[in-house]
Amino acid sequence: MPEERRLLVVDDEEVITWAISQALTRPGEMRVVTARSGEEALELMAKEPFDLVVTDIRMKGMTGFELLSRIRETYPESGVIVMTAYGSPEAKREATERGSLFYLDKTFELEEFRSVVRKALEQVDRGRAAVGKGEQEGFSGLIGNLKLIDMVQLHCLARNTVMLEVHAEKVNGRVGFLDGEIVFAETSAGAKGRTAFVDILSWNSGHFENIDEAPAEQNIDESWESLLIETTALMENSTGEPDVPAPAGADSAEFETPTDIHTIVEDLIHTDGIVGAVVAGDTGIVVDSAFDGWDGDDNGIAELASCMAGISRVRFVVEGETQRSHVIIQFDRRRVIAQEVGELGIFLLVISSGTGGLAQHLSATDTAAKKLARLL
């Protein structure tokens, strides 16, 4: 019989704790304990372990953010969900940086809440399973279960100014962000700039934390999107996977130019997290499309392509011809990546899940755009 899960709900509004307790309590499956403050929650956690903590942000005394940080430091095996009636992009970003698994607005439906709790418990179980097997790969840190590259992407998308300190077994490193751009990297082994950044992201285990300070110097001048694409390609190549593009004369099937556009589009949606791909002209005419797990709207996406075409060209001129021409639009639950295919007035749009996996999706988009350029 599965072990009973233990959930701690922290909110100074009794009606909220009562409603969640009534919705989630299942004898033998889920036991819900409530607390009216952060201080009371920590007292309860000192007496018994909890699988998951759901906390409000605005409370008397200790705030939900302060409680979240204390839990991540003292009880890292417990997952945390943050909820608030006063949501904002800044609050969501802070919750993620401090280690919240999910961030919820209090307008949620109970079924939606149950679904989020299930997903959070699955993440907690995966983390415990890795520890139980003695697995050493992966990073721990103040941001919980995110991978190192996910933390880098988060800082870039949030346009943060911060220093990310990484501590591996025998070497340490620092990555500096200025308004979301990666501008500095160094390792204790003496590497600096782009070389240091690639080295740091290749480390398989360790600990990392965010330091609230601006980089004192700059030794990287690439856009963060280009840097992540190139770094991901180098990391794939180091594990034996082919780089992009293939060397002249290579006969690898990975880089063999497909015979039709649809094959390229279909291949894209097989990438984890990508739910749609559209090839469209800058006038809004759809050339081809494919969707997986998402009810795509060709016409709507084509109109978006037309708008993003202008944005991309402006950005391309501003950044210079040495930079890749990507435009990224982040929605609540979806992300759209646009890349121009050569100089043909054709754009590739990739629709993906809105969190995580950005480097992989940028790399897949770049590879597909190169294949399309060869074909067209």
Tell me what pLDDT residue 3 has.
Answer: 80
CB contact at 8 A, 361 and 274: yes
Average pLDDT over all residues of the chain: 75
247-375 CATH fold: Beta-Lactamase (3.30.450)
Topology match between the domains 5-132 and 247-375:
no
With tokens 């100074």, the residue in question is 12
CB within 8 Å of 77: residues ≥ 6 apart: 49, 124, 127, 128, 131
Per domain, the residue ranges of the chain are 5-132, 139-221, 247-375
Of residues 161 and 362, which shows the higher confidence score? 161
Of residues 13 and 54, which shows the higher confidence score? 54
- Tell whether the model's pLDDT for residue 191 goes beyond 50: yes
CB contact at 8 A, 244 and 366: yes
Tell me what pLDDT residue 144 has.
Answer: 39
- Tell me the mean pLDDT in the region 45-74: 91
Tell me what pLDDT residue 2 has.
Answer: 65
- Tell whether the model's pLDDT for residue 354 goes beyond 80: no
pLDDT class for 41, splitting at 50, 70, 90? very high
CB within 8 Å of 2: residues ≥ 6 apart: 29
pLDDT class for 18, splitting at 50, 70, 90? confident
Q: Which CATH class is domain 5-132?
A: alpha beta
CB contact at 8 A, 25 and 7: no
- How many CB atoms within 10 Å of residue 188? 13
Of residues 61 and 247, which shows the higher confidence score? 61
Which of 120, 106, 10, 96 lies closest to 54, judged by CA? 10
Percentage with pLDDT > 70 across the chain: 70
pLDDT class for 127, splitting at 50, 70, 90? low
Of residues 109 and 134, which shows the higher confidence score? 109
pLDDT class for 247, splitting at 50, 70, 90? very low
Q: CA-CA distance, 295 to 289, in Å (whole number)? A: 12
Which of 356, 315, 351, 304 lies closest to 157, judged by CA? 356
Tell me what pLDDT residue 207 has.
Answer: 76
pTM: 0.40
pLDDT tens digit string along 265-314?
888 888 888 888 888 765 556 777 888 766 555 555 555 555 555 544 44
pLDDT tens digit string along 135-152?
444 444 433 345 677 778
Tell me what pLDDT residue 240 has.
Answer: 35
- Tell whether the model's pLDDT for residue 345 goes beyond 80: no
CA triplet 249, 236, 171: central angle to 5 degrees?
A: 135
- Tell whether the model's pLDDT for residue 319 goes beyond 70: no
